[in-house]
Each structure stands twice: as structure tokens, then as C-alpha cells.
Structure 1
Amino acid sequence: LFGRDGAWGTWVHRWTAEEARHGIVMRDYLLASRAVDPDALERFRMEHMSAGFESDNRHSMLHSIAYVAFQELATRVSHRNTGHQSGDPVCDRMLARIATDENLHMVFYRNLLRASLDLAPDLALSAIRDVVVDFRMPGHGIPNFGRAAAQMAIGE
């Protein structure tokens, strides 16, 4: 049911490709605008990607769906606020487009979560509670991530 083949696999592959596209365009923007040292960015990228990411919610499909619904919403807010705060119209438009994609991802997972509430309300509510109480963005291991995430969440 949740393998690589079929509707779920098709969705996961598409979602992964869209997320990769976001990373590519943001990296290209940073390099083209000379906003960062390209060598430092690549060292940081390699360090972060080499460490990998393992979801706190991998033990449960319901927890995973709840997590991604909230994570995509938080990512949308972060991208919109970052674009506004950048002071660069190009960056703002780019991140607005990415935020639109993130919103569509959130809607997909929100709809799955809504269906899970219809099918198994007690289990779904338990998963939502667990995810909200222990919520962390995927970048939580990055130095100073918490402070930067809080600033973007409130639009500073």
C-alpha cells in the first residue's frame, strides 16, 4: 500500500522532486545574488546532508502524516516571511512561489489527516497531540536554527 509503486509511490516521488526543485532555486538565488560564500554554502550543505535526517515519527503512518501536515504549514509561513524580510523583490517572488507549493503540499497532507480523523478518530487525535507536543522542524540540528526559525515564524 505505501511502497514505491502505486499512487503513494507516485506522490512521494513527485513531492520529493518538488522539494528538490525548491532547494535548487534557493541555492541558485543565493549564489547568483552573492548573498553567501559559495564554498561555505557547499561545506554546510555537505555537512548537513551527510548527517542525514531521521523523522521522530517514522514509527507510525498517522504520526508521519500529522507531522508533515504541520511541517509543510510551518515551511510555508517561513518562506513567506523570509521573502518579505529579504527586502529583495526577486527573493520575495521566488519564496512566494515556493510557499505556494508548500501550501499545496500542506493541503494534501491536511486532507489525509482529515480522512484519518473520520476513519480512526482516537488514533488520529493521539497522533496529532504527539506531533504538536514534540514538534521540531527537519533543520532542528542546524546551529542557531531555533533562533532563526522563531524569527521567521513571527516575521522579524
Structure 2
Amino acid sequence: MTTTVPRAVAEPAGQAAGPLLPPADLAQAVGSFMRSSPVTRRWDVETAFSWSSVDGGRLTEGQRSAVAFITYIEDHLPGYFGLYARRFPLDESVDVATFVHNRELYHFTVRWAQEEDSHARALFEYQVAAGISEPDRLRDELGQEGRKPFTMPHEHAISLFAYALVHEKATQIYYQSLRSVVDEPVLMDVLGRLSKDEARHFTFFADVVERSLRLYGDQVVEPIRDVIAGFRMPLADTLRGYWRWALKIADTAHYDHTDAYEHLIRVVNRAVDARTDRVDELARFVAACRTPAAAGQAS
């Protein structure tokens, strides 16, 4: 996991800048996402896991710390959802065409939020069942962080989608990596389910980014490049002790978030048939931003 000096971010006001996908294209991406998780494949926190059989004694100190860390990340869901509400408003501040786009996106956003909220609740329940924390204390600790604002400096809609693409894939990779070193069955089950959800979320954002590149080409290259140039995982600027903690949990699961960059490069390569200098430069730039270890594993 790489480190960067924290910086303050200012969020642009109002509707995210275009170009926006035509609503029909966005609706197709949303429909594909919805079909990827029919009712028969969904899960709920109360019945999906055997909370009474959790054996926290099988966790290492590093694994316990990792569970606590990812609980903070997932529990900040109201901040993430609020960002989308601000940048894709559904009111008279936007024209009808933009509203229709935002309304299609909202179909995804509410399902995404529900699933991410289930992640937060599952990790909360696991911490309590494993003896990592106590309910009242954990609620207060999560509240201290959760009330802090979540903002992003990106102006363009495609930037927000590209950021989410990388973040969702990086989270999926981490959950898979952590699961591979854990020897506690219930946590393995939790991480497996969370990883599958994050993979589906990644697929949606990859679909949107790919459609945008196919339709707009060079127009969306620079906003995507800006995401990688300043990429930081959520809460990097607000969570107390984030960088030391992030390095610790990365060592626990042998994880590097720049592993996710390779998946963005694949989306770019799939989307663009007639390559341009700007697209080629984007692919080279993203590859160059990977850490040496991550890049070596992919070669």
C-alpha cells in the first residue's frame, strides 16, 4: 500500500460536469447490475451468518486490526451516498435531461447503498461477536468518524465513476487477500460475501466508464487521469492514524491498492478500438502509477 502526504480537498458545488451518458445507456448498465444479484442470491445480516459460533481467538492481532479498519471504511456509507446526492441532484437545480440521467443513476445508487450498509452492519456484528469491541463503544467510535464530511475534488461525473471503479476493485482485492490468511470460518464467510458484492459494484462502474470512453473518447481521458494522479482510498484525509493503520493492515494481507489500476487499464483497452495519443498516454500513466511490486506481479 502506497503512502501520500494528506491534503485538504474541496468539493465542487452542484451537478457533476459532463459529458453524461445518455439515459438509455445508463439504464442498460443499471439493468445489468440488477440482474447480477437476483433475490435468490442476496443475503441479510441477521440470518446469513452463524454469529454465535464466531471464535475471535482464532484471529491474529493484525487480523483483528484489519476488521476494525474496514468497519470504519464501510460504515462511512452515509458520506458516500451523500456525495452522490449532491453531485447528481434530483431537484429543480438541474434541467430535465440531466434529471433523467440522475434518476437512472439513482436506481443503482440506492441498491449500492443498501448493500454497502449491510457490509457495515455485518462487520459491526462480527466485531461484537468476536470480542474485538463492545456495541456502545463501537457505535461511539464509528460516530466520531462517521460525522466527518466525505468530499471529493473531482469536477466531472466520469471522475467520480473512475474513482469508484478503482476503489471497489481495490476493496474486493483486499477482502480476498484478507480471507486467504484468515482461519476463522465466520469471518471467511463475511469476507467472501463482501468480496462478491464489491466485484459486482466494480463491474457496474467499469461498465459506465467503458461506455463513456466508447462514446466520448478523448473528452473523458483527462478527468480519468486526474483520478489516478491524486488517488487516495476513502477516509485517508480524515481517519485518525490512517496511514500507519493502512500500512499495518496491508502487511497483514499482503495488499497493495494499486493492484486495482491494472483493471482500469483493461477497461480502457476494451473500450477504445481506434487508439489515440491521449488514450495511449492514459494507459501508460496509469501503469506508471502502480507500485513497483504490483507492476512486477502483473508483468
Q: TM-score range by the shorter chain?
A: 0.7 to 0.9
| Aligned-partner Cα distance in 2 for 1:21–1:83 | 18
| Aligned-partner Cα distance in 2 for 1:56–1:28 | 33
Pairing of 1:93-112 with structure 2 (within 5 A): 93-112=189-208
RMSD: 2.0
Would you say the 8 A contact 1:81–1:152 is kept in 2? no
Task: Quote the residue 1:7 is aligned against.
Answer: 104
Say which structure is richer in helix: 1
Would you say the 8 A contact 1:65–1:112 is kept in 2? yes
Task: Quote the residue 2:161 is aligned against.
Answer: 65
The letter of the residue matching 1:111 is D
Structure 1 gap ranges (5+): none
Task: Quote the residue 2:130 is aligned against.
Answer: 33
| Aligned-partner Cα distance in 1 for 2:250–2:139 | 26
Task: Quote the residue 2:217 is aligned against.
Answer: 121
- Answer with 64-73 or 83-92: which moved more: 83-92
The letter of the residue matching 2:122 is V
Task: Quote the residue 1:139 is aligned against.
Answer: 235
| Aligned-partner Cα distance in 1 for 2:103–2:160 | 19
State yes or no: 1:79 paired with 2:164.
Answer: no
- Following superposition, the deviation at residue 135 of structure 1 comes to 0.7
State yes or no: 1:24 paired with 2:92.
Answer: no
Deviations 1:28-54 (A, max 9, x none): 111111122434322221111111211
The letter of the residue matching 1:21 is S
- Answer with 64-73 or 142-151: which moved more: 142-151
The letter of the residue matching 1:118 is R
Task: Quote the residue 2:186 is aligned against.
Answer: 90
Q: Per the alignment, in what secondary structure is the counterpart of residue 77 of structure 1?
A: helix
| Aligned-partner Cα distance in 2 for 1:122–1:71 | 23
Task: Quote the residue 1:50 is aligned against.
Answer: 147
| Aligned-partner Cα distance in 1 for 2:164–2:103 | 20
Number of residue pairs aligned between Structure 1 and Structure 2? 155
Normalization by structure 1: what TM-score? 0.87
Q: Structure 1 residues 85 and 139 mapped into 2: Cα distance closer, same or farther (>3 Å)?
A: farther
* Percent of residue pairs bearing the same amino acid type: 26
Q: Structure 1 residues 3 and 52 mapped into 2: Cα distance closer, same or farther (>3 Å)?
A: closer
Structure 2 gap ranges (5+): 1-22, 24-87, 91-101, 255-299
| Aligned-partner Cα distance in 1 for 2:131–2:224 | 41
| Aligned-partner Cα distance in 2 for 1:7–1:153 | 36
The letter of the residue matching 2:211 is A
Deviations 1:105-151 (A, max 9, x none): 00110011011111112232212211111111112121232333345
Q: Per the alignment, in what secondary structure is the counterpart of residue 120 of structure 1?
A: helix
- Following superposition, the deviation at residue 75 of structure 1 comes to 1.1
